[in-house]
Amino acid sequence: MTPTEIHQRLLEVFGPDDILGLEAELIDPVIVVRPGALRAVATHLRDAPELAMDFLRLLTGLDRPDAFEVVYHLFSYPKRHSVGLRARLDREAPTVDSVWDIWRTAEWHERETWDLVGITFTGHPDLRRLMMPDDWVGHPLRKDYQKPSVYHSIPTTRPKPSSQAPTHVFPPAEHVAKAEVEGEWMQVNMGPHHPATHGVINFLLETDGEIIRRARPDVGYLHRGLEKLAEITPYGNTMPYTDRVDYLGSMFTNHGWAMAVEKLVNVQVPPRAEYCRVIASELNRIASHQIATGALAMDIGAYTPFIHWLRERETINDIMEIVCGARLTYNYMRVGGVARDIKQPTLDRILTWLDHFEPMIDEFDRLISNNEIFIKRLANVSTISAEEAVSFGLVGPNLRASGVDWDIRRDEPYSVYGDLEFKVIVGQGLRGSVGDAYDRFVCRVLEIRESVKILRQACLNIPEGEVQGKVPRDLKPTANEVYARVEGARGENGFYIVADGQKQPYRVRYRTGSFTGMSIIEHLSPGLMVADLVALIGSLDVVAPEVDR
C-alpha cells in the first residue's frame, strides 16, 4: 500500500478528528495524527492484516518553533510498505502516550527522546536518562538549550583548595563501581572498561553467584552529540563526522548520509561512482565481520582465529588506504559520488586478494566455526525468535539469524546492488535453535563469502566514466524531509533529515543497528551465566559509537 492508501484506510477507521492529514508533498510522506489517538492508531497499524506495520524503524523528537513533534517511521515486513506518523505536541507540556509495548524497540527510543528533547511518554515503564548523566540539567537537543556551566567550564588557572562542600550532585550509587549484596542478589559493574563490552559500555548486573537475574546496559560514555553537530554544520561538511558514527563500518554511514542529501537536492550519481561505492562498502563489510567474528571467538577464549582475521584485514586496510587515505575511519564517499576513482591496478589487487582470501575463510572455519567447544558455548544461548527480533528493531545479521529473510540491498535496492547476484543469509539453527548466538556468528561468516561474490562482480563489471555527479555549489535544499537507509555491517543504517531551506539541516537523526541490538540485552539476560552474557554481547556485534552517536 502507498502512504496515500494507508492514509485513506486510517481515515475510514478513525475519522478526520483523529487523522489530521497527509503530508504527501514530502519525499517520504507522513500522516499527521491527533496525539490522543496515537496509541490507538499505532495498534491498528500493527495489528490490521492489510497493514501489518510490525517494525518501528525510527522514533524522532523535533523541537519546532510553535510545537514539539514526534515522528515514527514504520515498515511492514509482510507487506513491504512504509509510512511515517507525526504527532504535534503542546509546546509547554509535550506529552504523548508510550508505544513501548506495541513495538518493544520504542522503549529505548522513547528514553533517548525524553533525555535529549524532553518529550514525556506516558505509560513508559522506565523513563529516565539514557545518554546523559542522571544529574544532567535540561535536554540538549532543544533549540533553546543552554549548556550547564558545571560540565563545560574549563578553568584557566588551577583552583585553590576549598573547605566548602562540593555543589556537584553525584550519580546514584548504582552507577558507582561497587559490589554489594542486596538480599540474595549481588550488584556488580561489568565495565565500562571491560574487554568483553566492545567499547566503553557498562553493564549493571544483578547476580546470584554466576547466574544473572538482570543485566542493564548503561550507555552514554561515548556520546559525542553527532546529531547536534550535523544540525550546525553545512550538509557537505557533515560527511567527515559520519565515519565516527561507526568506526568499524564508516563506508556505510558515509553512503547513507550521501544518499539522504542526494534525495533532498535531487543529485544523480554516475554509474562508475556507484560501483566504487559498492566495492568500498563490501570491503568494509568483510573487515567489520572479521572483527565481529574474531572478537567473539577471542571473548570466549579462542585467541588464534582473531589473529588470522587481523592478518587478512590488513590487506583490506592497505587497499582502503590507497582508495581514501585512511586505515580505520574511512572517509571516501561524497554527495554526488566518491572522493576519487578506484584505478585498474587497485581493482586487480582486490581480485588477486580475493583468490587468496577465499581459502582463508575455509581455514577460519576449521579453526573455530566447526570447533565443538566453541559451538557448545554458543548453540542455544540467547535465542531470539523472529517476532522478538522484529519487535525489538533488530536489523542485519541479528535479524536474519532469527529467520527473517530481509536485506535492504536486495529488498529495497540502492546503488547498483539490484544488478548484482548474491544470497541473503538466513539463520537455519545449524547446531542449535534458529536465532541463537551460534546462528548470529555463522550468518556473519557466510555473509563474508557473499561479499566476496559481490566484489568479484563489481570489480569485473565496473563501467568507465566519471565518479562525481553535478552537485550544486551551495547545498541548500528546500524545506522537506527524507529518510535514507543502507544495509550496513550491523544492519540498517538510517538517516532522517529535516530540511528548512538553510545551508544546514534543521534536524538530523541517525538509526543504527547497535542501538537496537543493545536494547534487547536486558530482555535476554535473566537466567544467563555471566560467561554467557559475554557470548551474547559478542554475538550481537555491538559497537559502542553506534549506540552513543
* Per-residue pLDDT tens over the stretch 321-349: 999 988 888 899 999 999 999 999 999 99
Higher pLDDT among residues 505 and 186, named by residue = 505
The last residue of one of the domains, among 88, 122, 156, is 122
**pLDDT exceeds cutoff 60 at 151:** no
Question: Distance between alpha carbon 340 and the CA centroid of its chain, in Å?
Answer: 27
Give the pLDDT score at 174: 44
**Average confidence (pLDDT) over 362-378:** 93
Choose the final residue of a domain: 122, 148, 177: 122
What pLDDT shows up at residue 167?
33
Note whether 363 and 491 are same-domain residues.
yes
Contact 374, 303 (CB under 8 A): no
User: What is the per-residue pLDDT for 150?
Assistant: 54
Asked whether residue 263 is domain-assigned, the answer is: yes
Query: Does residue 271 carry a pLDDT above 60?
Result: yes
Within a domain: 205: no
Q: Residue 180 — very low, low, confident or very high, per pLDDT cuts 50/70/90?
A: very low
Residues sharing a CB contact under 8 Å with residue 359, sequence separation 6 or more, in sequence order? none
pLDDT for position 549? 82
Domain boundary, last residue among 63, 93, 122: 122
pLDDT in tens, 450-464: 999 999 999 999 999
Mean pLDDT computed over 414-419: 95
Count of CB atoms within 10 A of residue 391's CB?
21
pLDDT at 225 over 50: yes
21: left (phi over 0), alpha (psi -120 to 50) or beta: left
Q: Any idea which residue has 538482570 for its cell?
A: 214
Report percent pLDDT > 90 for the chain: 78
pLDDT at res. 530 = 92
Instruction: Judge whether 89 lies within some domain.
Output: yes
| In a shared domain, residues 354 and 472 | yes
The average pLDDT across 123-140 equals 91
Average pLDDT for residues 114-141, to the nearest whole number? Answer: 92
Residue 353's SS3 state is: helix
Contact predicate 67/88, CB 8 Å: yes
Reported as a pLDDT band with limits 50, 70 and 90, residue 14 is very high
CATH of the domain at 86: 3.30.460.80
Domain that holds residue 21: 3-122
Q: Read off the pTM.
A: 0.90
Residues 6+ positions from 66 with CB-CB distance below 8 Å: 91
- Considering the domain architecture, whether residues 238 and 356 belong to the same structural domain is answered as yes
Q: Is 460 helix (H, G, I), strand (E, B) or coil?
A: helix
Asked, for residue 221, whether it belongs to a domain, the answer is no
Q: pLDDT value at position 196?
A: 80
pLDDT digits (tens, 9 = 90+) for 80-99: 999 999 999 999 999 999 99
As given in the structure block, the three cell numbers for residue 504 are 544546514
**Mean pLDDT across the stretch 221-232?**
89
147 domain residue, yes or no: no
Specify whether 384 is located in the same domain as 525.
yes
Residue 143 in any domain: the answer is: no
The reply to whether 365 and 495 lie within a common domain is: yes
Contacts 24+ apart (CB under 8 A), 78-81: 78/52, 78/54, 79/1, 79/50, 79/51, 79/52, 80/411, 81/1, 81/2, 81/6
**Residue 44 domain flag:** yes
**pLDDT (0 to 100) of residue 247:** 85
Mean pLDDT of all residues belonging to the chain:
90
- pLDDT of 384 above 90: yes
Per-residue pLDDT at 158 exceeds 60: no
d(CA 527, CA 336) in angstroms, rounded, equals 50
Query: Taking CA 33 as the corner, what is the angle to CA 485 and CA 142, rounded to the nearest 5 degrees?
Result: 65
Report the pLDDT value the prediction gives residue 494, as an integer from 0 to 100: 94
Question: Count of domains in the chain?
Answer: 2
Beta strands in 16-80 (DSSP E): 19-23, 30-33, 55-63, 68-75
Task: Identify the CATH number of the domain in which residue 536 sits.
Answer: 1.10.645.10
Residues 92 and 232 occupy one common structural domain: no
